[in-house]
Amino acid sequence: MNQALSLYLQEKAALIEQHLRTALEREEVPVRLYEAMAYSLLAGGKRLRPILVLAVLEALGKPVERGIPFAVALEMIHTYSLIHDDLPAMDDDDWRRGKPTNHKVFGEATAILAGDALLTRAFASIAEAYLHHPEVKPEHVLRLIAELGRRAGAPGMVGGQMADMEGEGRSLDLTELEYIHRHKTGDLLVAALRGAAYLADASPELVEALTRYGMNIGLAFQIQDDILDVEGDTAQLGKTAGSDLARQKATYPALIGLEASKQKLAQLIAEAKEALTEAGLGDSMLMPLADYIMERTH
């Protein structure tokens, strides 16, 4: 990773972290529920989804402050999904971001409620922040909320998780595996990009270009996760390496081999960058962010 991108990621992650803490501090909730929410929300991580929001606004010449409420909401939704994915009824994971998973610390019932609270708080945060925003049109906020609800819900992330669970222990073809990856992981990345474009009052052509970019980096992100599950180690990943193999999950390396998976990954990143170039965004930070998807080690 080049130094400019590394500094950019650190700067933007710190900004997001600051606002995540503020968002939780405003809440008046039972102490144990608050602690469970904060435990996972403030556990670190790449903060890729909110960073994409800020990067789009910068690329389109808009102030990043406009995207902060949406960025915070995205990270709440992402965190809720991780809490629920880790539960014994689903992936049954013990580690997340180098720490015991939420249900291991607070119990399953509290973990479920913490996830529920983060999900619902996310949509409330968006509505509250943009209700009377002087620079954001109400119809754009409604479009953003509809987009996020669909891509985080049954047609998107939740549906992808269901398909992932149904695929355990059986042989999947590439079409089925791509469906899981595009929805379980990719849809929330696309929502980040499209939502930011709405906030920037972008043209339909720009929204479409960012969608193409997002679909490509979304699938690439999960393929890299599949590769890291084979090549990474638990300490570096912050979660149990080899867990996909242990649960008999279909992955790109298992279906097409490790080298072919890396070739597919490179192809997707190239197509993502092509979409940016065609849209006139080739000089934006979205370009090196695409490379980061492929080069990351955790």
The predicted-structure confidence for 75-93, as pLDDT tens digits, reads as follows: 999 999 999 999 999 989 9
Residue 244 has pLDDT above 80, yes or no: no
List the one residue out of 42, 48, 60 whose CA is nearest residue 8. Answer: 48
Percentage with pLDDT > 90 across the chain? 81
Distance, first Cα to last Cα, the chain: 13
The whole-number average pLDDT for the span 10-34 is 91
Averaged pLDDT of the chain? 92
- Give the rounded distance of the alpha carbon of 244 from its chain centre: 19
pLDDT for residue 245: 54
Which of 45-54, 186-195, 245-254 is predicted least confidently? 245-254
Rounded Cα distance, 35 and 24, in Å: 10
Which residues does 260 contact at the CB level (< 8 Å), separation at least 6? 252
Evaluate if pTM is beyond 0.85: yes
95: β partners: 100
On whether the CB atoms of residues 165 and 185 are closer than 8 A, the answer is: no
Give the confidence band of 241 by pLDDT, cuts at 50, 70, 90.
low
On whether the CB atoms of residues 19 and 76 are closer than 8 A, the answer is: no
223: β partners: none
- Amino acid present at 19: H
State the DSSP H helix or E strand holding residue 95, giving kind and residue range, or none if neither.
strand 95-96
The whole-number average pLDDT for the span 254-263 is 94
Residue 247 has pLDDT above 70, yes or no: no
Backbone dihedral region for residue 201 (phi beyond 0: left; psi -120 to 50: alpha; all else: beta): left
pLDDT for residue 52: 98
Is 179 exposed, middle or buried (CB count within 10 Å of its CB: 0-12, 13-18, 19+)? middle
List the one residue out of 191, 147, 186, 146 whose CA is nearest residue 163. Answer: 186
On whether the CB atoms of residues 60 and 197 are closer than 8 A, the answer is: yes
Residue 149 has pLDDT above 70, yes or no: yes
Residue 246 has pLDDT above 80, yes or no: no
Which residues does 133 contact at the CB level (< 8 Å), separation at least 6? 66, 141
Rounded Cα distance, 79 and 252, in Å: 25
Rounded Cα distance, 66 and 174, in Å: 39
Rounded Cα distance, 295 and 298, in Å: 9
On whether the CB atoms of residues 292 and 6 are closer than 8 A, the answer is: no
List the one residue out of 215, 232, 230 whose CA is nearest residue 181. Answer: 215
Which residues does 68 contact at the CB level (< 8 Å), separation at least 6? 15, 16, 19, 54, 129
Rounded Cα distance, 189 and 151, in Å: 9
Residue 115 has pLDDT above 60, yes or no: yes
Residue 154 has pLDDT above 90, yes or no: yes
- Give the rounded distance of the alpha carbon of 188 from its chain centre: 5
Question: Which one of 3.40.50.300, 3.40.50.1820, 1.10.600.10, 1.10.1060.10 gives the CATH number of domain 3-293?
Answer: 1.10.600.10
Give the confidence band of 210 by pLDDT, cuts at 50, 70, 90.
very high
Residue 297 has pLDDT above 90, yes or no: no
